[in-house]
Amino acid sequence: MKIIACIKQVPDSEAKVKAENGQVSWGDAPLVINPFDEYAVEGALQQKETTNGTVTALCIGPESAKDALKHALAMGADEAVLVSDSALDGLDTLGAARVLAAAIQKIGGADMVVFGRQTLDNGAGLTPAQTARVLGWPMLGLAGQIKVDGGNVTVERVIEEGRQTVSAKLPAVLSVVQSIGEPRYPSFMGIRKASKAAIPVWTLADLGVAAPTALVTRAELMNPPSRETKVEIITGESPAEIADKLADKILAEKVL
Amino acid sequence: MDFALSPEHQMVQKMVRDFAQKEIAPVIKEHDRKQEPIPTALKRMGELGILGICIPVRYGGQGMDYLTLGLACEELEAVDTSLRVAMSVHAGLCSLNLFQWGTEEQKERLLVPLASGEKLGCGAFTEPGMGSDVAAMTTTAKRDGDFYILNGEKMWISLATKADLAMVTVKTNPSARKASEGLSAFIVDLHSEGVKTGDIHGKLGVRAGSTGWISFTDVKVPVANRIGEEGEGFKITMSGFDHGRYTVASGATGIIRASLEASVSYAKTRKTFGKPIAEHQLIQEKIAKMAQDYEIARLLYYQVGWLKNQGKRSTRETSYAKKFATEASFNAANEAIQIHGAYGFSDEYDVERYLRNSKGAVIYEGSSEIQSLIQAGYALGERTDKPLRCELPAYDESVWQS
Ligand SMILES: Cc1cc2nc3c(=O)[nH]c(=O)nc-3n(C[C@H](O)[C@H](O)[C@H](O)COP(=O)(O)OP(=O)(O)OC[C@H]3O[C@@H](n4cnc5c(N)ncnc54)[C@H](O)[C@@H]3O)c2cc1C
Ligand SMILES: Cc1cc2nc3c(=O)[nH]c(=O)nc-3n(C[C@H](O)[C@H](O)[C@H](O)COP(=O)(O)OP(=O)(O)OC[C@H]3O[C@@H](n4cnc5c(N)ncnc54)[C@H](O)[C@@H]3O)c2cc1C
């Protein structure tokens, strides 16, 4: 079975992200593979193992995003493809879906495309479904477990009301959640392979698609309002006195 | 000259860091308090290939270079010393030394299970009556046909009760002209009849690590398990220390880093006299010293990794790295406690564990005093490295990975 895992590179979860001159900035925090996409790679690798298949990691991003792809290779992916083009700067999720779909077609022969549930930075969570729509393939979202049987894929979804099992014909698009299993660490063999891998970079021209026009544009980016907090330590002779003072304060501030 | 780590090195650092952070950091305090090893730690290190990191693939290892071993040790000890100690004895004293001195047959039979993590190894030299003076050991081995019969006791042995195989140095010729020429080294299967092991409790540090004793009563060891020739035991033991000390040095570098990181983050948030303590110059001095020591310790062990990769002897440089990093780690942990004030004195924070853990390394694998003697010997021209019958081979990617 041929599996494609779509991954994005995002600022590390410990980065302090803020809006600066209308742009998102994360300072010099390192960029890493989107943590949810590590689960996508894990899910893809599990299927590779049970079906004796292959995994190709696919990413739209700048040259630096090769590091995220190398992480996927080190985990055990067989190949990686980066789509990079200066015309992709103002990409929205539908645009990303169109470009991903074109790349999936160019890679060719995929039986299953696995996504993360959402990204850590933009976090729309829309790209998987939109990609499925562009491809015209069924979409099984938020899968916790994946089973492939013949030409069908069945996934277990944990939803608020309980557990749901859904299935679809392959090829299909999936997005996965954490219950797929903890992402494996890169192996040493994988690390060596990844560090030597030449990752092809495809432009929009290579994909034969025009730069998608963004349907959604970012009108404004703002930092959350900074909140003024004041700490006051209430003291007193006895616990009873402190409690009285505290109760008065709470009433005066109309907290209760 | 190139100080840059390759992408491969960086990926290994991240992988080992993630493992230690995710699987060890959350549970280490509890195990350290109970003086119990984390049961899964060594197994996981084996599964992930860390235990055989720089042994060639054809001997069951992962085929990385010698510098990678140091990088992994730094990451491991930045979380807890017990993990790095396992590397020092399993990978350093036992596997690498076997790789250096073993015959092809011995490597295939004994190194493969060690490097693949299927079996655990340790190094047993110290005895109840001797440590620094290796030639003064009293455990004996007498030849009896195809076997040697071992008798005696080894003490303060890391992984004594966990290891399957031990690199053991004993006296085979009590009447040798020089005591150091009467020693021989063996790989002893610790599941053999006549071997007893036990743990030592009440240690100041490395409480989640296993340290113990091994006693030998008429233990039959096949001649095929003798490493090197009879009488080469002293040289082999010293080679083992070259490898072990390198892991100790790189590991101690991790303690300096951990102490520095803990101090920086605490100093930025703790306020006294109206400002974060990081703004007091006396605190800054401590932090600056840790940062500088981290850099020095790192460069010293990188140098050793590089020398090993080149196939050059590094006894002297390893001694510098080991003495500097272990002493600096003790100082860094001590100052980290000072910066944390009373909280640093409590096991709520990690820094007190760093201090307790760092002290052992100033003693074991050649105490600081012994390192000074080695260094003075080189400086005064009284000590030179004579070529060994078996040198550690230079790292060659194509050989290691085929
Ligand atoms: C209005 C608007 C303007 C934007 N402008 C910019 C911009 O100027 N520059 C910029 O860098 N980003 C920009 N973004 C973000 C970028 O468009 C998104 O990263 C991309 O569309 C995916 O959306 P998301 O991050 O919300 O992914 P989600 O829909 O949350 O992602 C779900 C899953 O889709 C997959 N996926 C997502 N992104 C990629 C990718 N790039 N490659 C491979 N797989 C992927 C992953 O599996 C991921 O887990 C903008 C977003 C919006 C909404
Ligand atoms: C946690 C831990 C783990 C250990 N693991 C192992 C292991 O896996 N395998 C193993 O074989 N051993 C191990 N050891 C033992 C360790 O290697 C010895 O403790 C060390 O070699 C010192 O020997 P000693 O304790 O007998 O001290 P001694 O040799 O008795 O020395 C006592 C003191 O005298 C100093 N001294 C000795 N000779 C001189 C001199 N000529 N000039 C000046 N000062 C001198 C020493 O530096 C020390 O300060 C371990 C020890 C500890 C604490």
Could you tell me if B50 and B57 are in contact, meaning their C-beta atoms sit under 8 angstroms apart? no
Could you tell me if A201 and A103 are in contact, meaning their C-beta atoms sit under 8 angstroms apart? no
pLDDT, one tens digit per residue, over B292-302 is: 999 999 999 99
- Tell me, yes or no, if B365 is annotated catalytic: yes
Residue (of A126, A156, A130, A153) closest to A143 by Cα position: A156
d(C-alpha A137, C-alpha B389), whole Å:
67
Q: Say what the pTM is.
A: 0.91
| Superfamily of B235-400 according to CATH | Butyryl-CoA Dehydrogenase, subunit A, domain 3 (1.20.140.10)
d(C-alpha B97, C-alpha B53), whole Å:
14
CATH number for region B122-233: 2.40.110.10
pLDDT, one tens digit per residue, over B104-133 is: 999 999 999 999 999 999 999 999 999 999
Q: What is the pLDDT of residue B159?
A: 98
Mean pLDDT, residues A130-158 taken together: 96
Instruction: Supply the DSSP symbol for B120.
Output: -
Q: What is the pLDDT of residue B192?
A: 98
Angle ∠(A79,B54,B325) on CA atoms, nearest 5: 120
pLDDT, one tens digit per residue, over B156-177 is: 999 999 999 999 999 999 999 9
Domains B122-233 and B235-400 alike in fold? no
A84: how many CB neighbours lie within 10 A of its CB? 17
Q: Six-digit token pair at B276?
A: 């974060």
Angle ∠(B251,B252,B257) on CA atoms, nearest 5: 95
pLDDT, one tens digit per residue, over B183-222 is: 999 999 999 999 999 999 999 999 999 999 999 999 999 9
Residue (of A126, A136, A109) closest to A175 by Cα position: A126
pLDDT surpasses 90 at A255: no
Q: What is the pLDDT of residue A21?
A: 83
Question: Is A27's C-beta closer than 6 angstroms to any atom of ligand 1?
Answer: no
Q: What is the pLDDT of residue B50?
A: 98
- Residue spans per domain, chain A: 2-207
Reduced to 3 states, what is the DSSP secondary structure of residue B224?
helix
pLDDT, one tens digit per residue, over B360-371 is: 999 999 999 999
Cβ contacts of A194 on chain B, cutoff 8 Å: 7, 11
Cβ pairs bridging A and B (under 8 Å):
36
Residue B195, φ and ψ in degrees, nearest 5 = -95, 130
Torsion B113-B117-B120-B123 (CA) sign: positive
Q: What is the pLDDT of residue A217?
A: 86
Q: Which atom of ligand 1 is nearest to the CA of A127?
A: 29
CATH number for region A2-207: 3.40.50.620
Using CA positions, which residue lies closest to atom 5 of ligand 1?
Answer: A90
Ligand 2 geometric centre to CA of B114 (Å): 26
Q: Where are the beta strands (DSSP E) in B2-146?
A: 121-124, 140-144
ipTM surpasses cut 0.90: no
Q: Where are the beta strands (DSSP E) in chain A?
A: 2-6, 9-11, 18-20, 23-25, 31-33, 54-60, 79-83, 112-115, 139-149, 152-159, 162-169, 172-176, 201-202
Question: Is A60's C-beta closer than 6 angstroms to any atom of ligand 1?
Answer: yes
Scanning B108-202, the segments in alpha helix (DSSP H) are 112-115
pLDDT surpasses 90 at B2: no
Beta carbons within 8 Å of B293's beta carbon, 6+ residues apart:
B256, B324, B328, B331, B332
Ligand 2 geometric centre to CA of B361 (Å): 10
Average pLDDT, chain A: 94
Interface test with chain A among B11, B18, B59, B271, by most A beta carbons within 10 Å: B11
Q: Give the ligand with the smallest distance to the CA of A34.
A: 1
- Kindly state the percentage of chain B with pLDDT values over 70: 100
- Residue spans per domain, chain B: 7-120, 122-233, 235-400
Q: Six-digit token pair at B150?
A: 């071992």
Q: Which residues of B14-39 are buried (b: 16+ CB within 10 A; e: fewer)?
A: bbbbebbeebbeeebbebbeeeebbe
The CATH number, out of the four listed (3.20.20.70, 1.10.540.10, 3.40.50.1580, 3.40.50.2000), of the domain defined by the range B7-120: 1.10.540.10
